[in-house]
């Protein structure tokens, strides 16, 4: 398989291209995704290649984009809608929670809703309150949804392809801070990364750091710079989360730090923490600590104070290491 150096935007674009070439049921729809190629250029060039019937520049209506995609999926297509910023998804939440997530259940399995809803999320591009949110918990709390978030170009493409090949709706959260943050060798053809499996990014004995999405590179930088002997788990999929990978690591280290960018209260870290204590409190030598965004909106000028950084991650790691 030939590969190419790609950033995350290019990898996603390549994944969409592969999917569309292989399957005419794949339809893209969203705001400015056609002629403009998407505000982040993820769908660049696909209109020219696949035509306006398969790459739809829609009116500005999130509830309509999602609702229309659901109708397409129910009638046998495989839509991949884009919501321009995750912050704008909330008018479509009724469609996501009450339609998309419940089609299979409420129809006794007669109807299905296989689709991938892509949307960029997270801070780091100076977007302020309305272009920076991390709302993964809203989706994780709804039965019927699969929630995926990649942390590298390679993962982004492989997870997107898996998500699109599944039989259920997937919320695909793209960490926009990483869109152009780094390049990687990425296969040009189709390949899959399994949904529901975490990746052990680095192996160590002293502490388990559990993270996902845009925080993965920040955690890895911290670990490398400070020579931490840590297991670093990139969850990749939040729902269904990979409990086996988590428990295996916790059993080994007995010390856990969870890092995510979303606010702490009701955040996904709380779920992981509860899961670990329910299953293995006896393995723990220290309280589980969370390093998260604060329970505030995301500021524009002072963004760097919001997003978890090396200092805060290191503090938490030291604390759990110091516990008896």
Partner 1 sequence: MEQQQKKESKQSEKPQYIRAYAAMVLSRTLDKKIVSAQRQGRVGFYTPTMGQEALQVGVSMALEKEDLVYGYYRDVPMMLHRGVPIETIINQIMGNSADTAKGRQMPSHYTSKALHFMSVQSPVASNLPLAAGAAYALKYRQKKNVVVTTFGDGATSTPDFHAGMNLAAVFKLPLVFVCENNGWAISLPVERQTPVEISLKASAYGMPGVKADGMNFVEMYKVARAAIQDARAGKGPTLIDALSYRMGPHSTSDDPTKYRKDDVKEGSEKDPLVIGEKLLISMDYADDKLLEKIRNEAVKTVDERFDACEKIPPPDPITAFQDVYKNMTWMLEEEVKDIL
Consecutive H or E run containing 279: helix 268-280
Tokens found for residue 64? 């309509």
- Contact residues for 236 (Cβ-Cβ < 8 A; gap 6+): 148, 149, 150, 151, 155, 159, 193, 197, 198, 199, 212, 242
131 a catalytic residue: yes
C-alpha of 168 from chain center: 16
Site string for partner 1, 70-99 (x = CB under 8 A): xxxxxxxx-x-----------x--xx--xx
Cα 130 to its chain centre, rounded Å, is 18
Identity of the residue, 92 or 257, whose beta carbon is nearer to partner 1 in the bound complex: 92
Is residue 69 close enough to count as binding partner 1 by CB under 8 A? yes
Binding status of residue 164 toward partner 1 by CB under 8 A: no
User: How far, CA to CA in Å, does 276 sit from each of 245, 261, 314?
Assistant: 11, 20, 21
* Alpha-carbon span 261 to 293, nearest angstrom: 5
Hey, how many other C-beta atoms are within 10 angstroms of the C-beta on 302? 8
Which of these segments, 31-39, 64-72, 174-182, 255-263, binds partner 1 (CB under 8 A)? 64-72
20 binds partner 1 (CB under 8 A): no
Min CB(192)–partner 1 separation in Å = 17
Of residues 53, 282, 301, 302, which one binds partner 1 by CB under 8 A?
A: 53
Pick the stretch among 12-20, 31-39, 105-113, 307-315 that binds partner 1 (CB under 8 A).
105-113
Distance CA 308, CA 256 (A): 16
Cα–Cα distances in angstroms (integers) from residue 138 to residues 134, 143, 174, 262, 266, in the given order: 9, 11, 15, 11, 9
Tokens of 119: 């949307």
Q: Which of 21, 48, 61, 129 binds partner 1 (CB under 8 A)?
A: 61
Among 129, 143, 274, 281, contact with partner 1 (rule: CB under 8 A): 143
**Which position among 146, 151, 152, 249 is part of the footprint of partner 1 (CB under 8 A)?**
146
What number of H helices and E strands is found in the chain? 12, 14
Q: Is the Cβ of residue 132 or residue 249 nearer to partner 1 in the bound state? A: 249
Which residue is catalytic, options 78, 118, 131, 177?
Answer: 131
Q: How far is the CB of 51 from partner 1 (least distance, A)?
A: 11
Residue 102 near partner 1 by CB under 8 A: yes
- What are the residues binding partner 1 (CB under 8 A)? 27, 53, 56, 58-59, 61, 63-64, 66-77, 79, 91, 94-95, 98-99, 102-112, 143-144, 146, 166-168, 239-240, 243
Residues marked active site are found at 131
């Amino acid at each position: 398989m030939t590969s190419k150096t790609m950033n995350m935007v290019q990898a996603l674009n390549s994944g969409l291209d592969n999917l569309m070439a292989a399957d005419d049921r794949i339809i893209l729809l969203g705001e400015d995704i056609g002629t403009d190629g998407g505000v982040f250029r993820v769908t660049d060039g696909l209109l020219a290649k696949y035509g306006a019937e398969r790459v739809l520049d829609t009116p500005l209506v999130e509830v309509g984009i999602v609702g229309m995609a659901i109708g397409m999926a129910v009638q046998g297509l495989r839509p991949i809608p884009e919501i321009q910023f995750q912050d704008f998804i909330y008018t479509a939440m009724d469609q996501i929670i009450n339609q998309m997530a419940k089609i299979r259940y409420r129809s006794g399995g007669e109807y299905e809703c296989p689709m991938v809803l892509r949307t960029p999320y997270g801070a780091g591009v100076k977007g302020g309150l309305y272009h920076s949110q991390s709302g993964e918990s809203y989706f994780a709390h709804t039965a019927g949804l699969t929630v995926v978030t990649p942390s590298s170009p390679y993962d982004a493409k492989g997870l997107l392809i898996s998500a699109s090949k599944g039989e259920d709706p997937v919320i695909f959260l793209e960490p926009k801070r990483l869109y152009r943050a780094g390049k990687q060798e990425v296969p040009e053809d189709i390949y899959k990364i399994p949904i529901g499996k975490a990746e052990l990014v680095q192996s160590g004995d002293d502490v388990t750091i559990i993270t996902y999405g845009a925080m993965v590179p920040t955690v890895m930088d911290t670990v490398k710079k400070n020579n931490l002997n840590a297991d670093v788990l990139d969850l990749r999929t939040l729902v269904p989360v990979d409990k086996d990978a988590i428990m295996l690591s916790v059993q080994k280290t007995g010390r856990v730090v969870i890092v995510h960018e979303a606010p702490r209260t009701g955040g996904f870290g709380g779920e992981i923490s509860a899961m670990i204590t329910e299953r293995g409190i006896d393995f723990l030598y220290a309280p589980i600590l969370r390093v998260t965004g604060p329970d505030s909106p995301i500021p524009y000028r002072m963004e760097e104070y919001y997003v978890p950084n090396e200092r805060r991650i290191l503090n938490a790691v030291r604390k759990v290491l110091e516990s008896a």
